[in-house]
Structure 1
């Protein structure tokens, strides 16, 4: 499946789900002083960006080394996206990513798995594998996604006060519905890619 720059950016933004991560950030930074909170969120987004860029550059080589195909990456990514979408549409008390520890976060749970989680890592690897000649575009997608995530999460207190729980949940559920449809398309594209690679079919 071929993605445009804007299509890839939209997919990454939906996967990062900054609005859905607001409860996680509020819970993990409630004991952090206000002046330090923005720095903590910036640090976590920078860590996530580095991890996503590493996955973009070396994820394909790693998958090839362990014998995984592009079809497997697409289908596996679709399953992860669908599971995340289900948890967004039908939320649980522990949130999309499960229970998270309190105190000042360091890497876990904001950088990983809230931002650079299985879904975003699988997505950027899929984008890089689908068009390896456009790595600069995918790198820009990663940086814009992390910058947007930082802007939203740094404003978590303000957004929670002004949007309210009900509107935030409605936006998250709508995002989950969109992700479910995108996961279905990713799954179908992976199946088509696998069928095309079968001997006697892909050569016709």
Structure 2
């Protein structure tokens, strides 16, 4: 499946799920002093961005070294995205990413897995594998995704108050439905790629 810039950007932003991460952000920062919260959020977004860029540049080489194909990446990524979509549509009391430790977050759970989790890592590796010549474009998408996430999470308390729990939940479920459809398309593309590799395609 070939992605244009805006399609890939939308997919990455949906994967990062900044609105869905508002509850986990508020929970993680409730014991952090107000004047330190922006610093913590910016730091976590930078860590997530670096992690995604490393996956973008070196993820394919790593996958090739252990014998994984583009089809496996696409199908495996679709499974992860589908699982995330199911938890967004049918949320549990622990949220999309399960229980999180208390105290000031460092890497876990905001940077990883909330922002740079299995779904976003699989997605950026899939994009990079689909067209390695567009690395600058994929890198820009990672940066924009993290900027959008950072701005959204910095405004988490304000958004939670303005939107309310019901609207936030509705948006998260709608995002989950969109992700489920994207996961299905990723799986179909992976299967088509695998069949073509076997020489069985039309």
TM-score normalised according to structure 2 size:
0.99
Asked whether 1:159 is paired with 2:159, we answer: yes
In 1, the alpha carbon distance for the partners of 2:31 and 2:90 equals 29
Structure 1 position 201, deviation (Å): 3.0
Question: 1:71-97 deviations in whole A, cap 9, x for unaligned?
Answer: 000000000000000000000000000
Residue aligning to 2:87: 87
1:98 aligned partner: 98
Q: For residues 102 and 156 of structure 1, what CA distance do their matches in structure 2 show?
A: 18
Task: Return the TM-score normalized by structure 1.
Answer: 0.98
Over the aligned positions, Cα root-mean-square deviation in angstroms equals 0.8
2:15 pairs with 1:6: no
Alignment of 1:1-204 (within 5 A): 1-198=1-198, 200-201=199-200
Unpaired stretches in structure 2, ≥5 consecutive residues: none
Count of residues paired in the alignment? 202
Runs of 4+ in structure 1 over 6 Å off: none
**Stretches of structure 1 lacking an aligned partner (at least 5 in a row):** none
Cα shift readout 1:34-88 (whole Å, capped 9, x = no counterpart): 1110010000000000000000000000000000000000000000000000000
1:102 positional shift: 1.1
